Amino acid sequence: MAGEVSASGYQDAPLQRKLQNTTDCQKDSPVLFCNLLWFLVPVMRLFGVNTMRMLAYSLLILLFVAVLPATGRAAGQTELTWYGHAAFKVVTPKGHVLLIDPLFINQMNPDGQKDLDSLTKADLILISHGHFDHVGNANEIARKTGARLVATYDLANAMATYGGYPKDQMGYDTFGNFGGTLRFFDGEVTIAFIPAVHSSSVNPKDLKVGSQADQPEFGGNPSGFLVMIEDGPAIYHTGDTDLFSDMTLIPHFRQVDVMLACIGDHFTMGPGRAAEAVALVQPNMVVPMHYGIPDVLSGTVEDFERALHQKQLGRRLLPMSVKKPLVFNGAAPILSK
Ligand SMILES: [Zn+2]
């Protein structure tokens, strides 16, 4: 389906398209500042602006140029960043920060500890199920940011009782269950719980918060999330799951702009079954995740690509690189040519 136009109006691009690289942007900020000043100083002189005012205006411009690219996102845009495994950060157009399954320290992200240390803002932490590779660094982040926990009622309770998550950072505003949606930030973010075919337990030993004895506690039913952002994309994070036929119901209620799909096999669906999941959900694009652990998760992006191509869905594949943010204007991602 070459040149296919998706429901949200942007064109599918080929697999190897390059994402906008905000690191380059940050690197270029001082150059941009200098160029602006070269242009603006003579103009200000022309209009009789005095030196003190010129200095003040220049500082304002410097602030604008420095702050804007540091977030990789202009006002009104949404930013999606992958930290490896199933861990993602979403920054909304109004600047709210959501983390999903925040395992920052993982094999794909050797600088995870640094990322964790430099993370200063998070409003919500979404956890799909209680396994350690999805709870990840949630407790540490919650303590330093005050982020509230979004999870099923049972998982949230288990996280408070056995999992080390601060009890006062969750409540009826953040608990949910399947079929329900939660509204945050005056409706800027709406989150629906999507079932997942997996398991869920909270083991204090695995989470390094309790005794050394293996004692898995009931962690509710595992979930995925549909995160719908006002003036931004609808993002479906599958959590850990197998393919299941009820995935077809998801787009009956909301077109999915980007599906974050587990493909690693062994504990979740592998590339072939994940490609069938894409056929059921019909997202505008799919980002593979939860793969790349040698000797355990055998599914690869290459196999996933092949399986998608067999279903004429290859052009929807958008592999992300760890920590290269994908920026959205409305529901559509900004992709370089
Ligand atoms: Zn997992």
Q: Is the pLDDT of residue 139 over 80?
A: yes
CA of residue 135 to ligand 1 center, whole Å: 10
- Residue 3 inside a domain? The answer is no
In angstroms, rounded to a whole number, what is the distance separating the alpha carbons of residues 171 and 149?
Answer: 8
How confident is the model at residue 225, as a pLDDT? Answer: 98
Boundary residue ending a domain (41, 56, 72) = 72
The answer on 188 and 253 residing in a single domain is yes
Q: Which residue has the higher pLDDT, 57 or 104?
A: 104
- What is the mean pLDDT of the segment spanning 267-293? 97
Q: Is the pLDDT of residue 289 over 70?
A: yes
- 229, 78 contact by CB (below 8 A): yes
CA of residue 223 to ligand 1 center, whole Å: 12
Boundary residue ending a domain (49, 72, 95) = 72
CA of residue 249 to ligand 1 center, whole Å: 24
- Residue 6 inside a domain? The answer is no
Model confidence, pTM: 0.81
Number of folded domains in the chain?
Answer: 2
In angstroms, rounded to a whole number, what is the distance separating the alpha carbons of residues 10 and 243?
Answer: 27
- Residue 277 inside a domain? The answer is yes
Among residues 155, 159, 160, the alpha carbon closest in space to that of 178 is found at: 155
Percentage of residues in the chain having pLDDT higher than 70 = 78
Q: Is the pLDDT of residue 299 over 70?
A: yes
CA of residue 297 to ligand 1 center, whole Å: 10
How confident is the model at residue 228, as a pLDDT? Answer: 98
Q: Is the pLDDT of residue 163 over 80?
A: yes
The answer on 257 and 156 residing in a single domain is yes
Q: Which residue range is the domain that position 296 belongs to?
A: 73-331
Q: Looking at residue 273, which CATH number applies to its domain?
A: 3.60.15.10
Residue type, 272: G
The answer on 68 and 78 residing in a single domain is no
Among residues 252, 321, 305, the alpha carbon closest in space to that of 281 is found at: 252
Q: How far is CA 173 from CA 88, 145, 177, 182, in A?
A: 22, 18, 12, 7
In angstroms, rounded to a whole number, what is the distance separating the alpha carbons of residues 83 and 108?
Answer: 8
In angstroms, rounded to a whole number, what is the distance separating the alpha carbons of residues 30 and 7?
Answer: 39
The answer on 148 and 41 residing in a single domain is no
CA of residue 274 to ligand 1 center, whole Å: 15
Boundary residue ending a domain (56, 72, 88) = 72
Strand 234-237 to strand 223-229: parallel, antiparallel, or no bridges (unpaired)?
A: antiparallel
CA of residue 199 to ligand 1 center, whole Å: 10
CA of residue 244 to ligand 1 center, whole Å: 17
CA of residue 288 to ligand 1 center, whole Å: 13
How confident is the model at residue 243, as a pLDDT? Answer: 98
The answer on 100 and 62 residing in a single domain is no
- Residue 4 inside a domain? The answer is no
The answer on 178 and 105 residing in a single domain is yes
Strand 148-152 to strand 124-126: parallel, antiparallel, or no bridges (unpaired)?
A: parallel
CA of residue 234 to ligand 1 center, whole Å: 22
Q: What is the DSSP letter of 7?
A: T
Residue the block writes with tokens 């709210």: 96
- Residue 159 inside a domain? The answer is yes
The answer on 101 and 68 residing in a single domain is no
Confidence of residue 75 (pLDDT cuts 50, 70, 90): confident
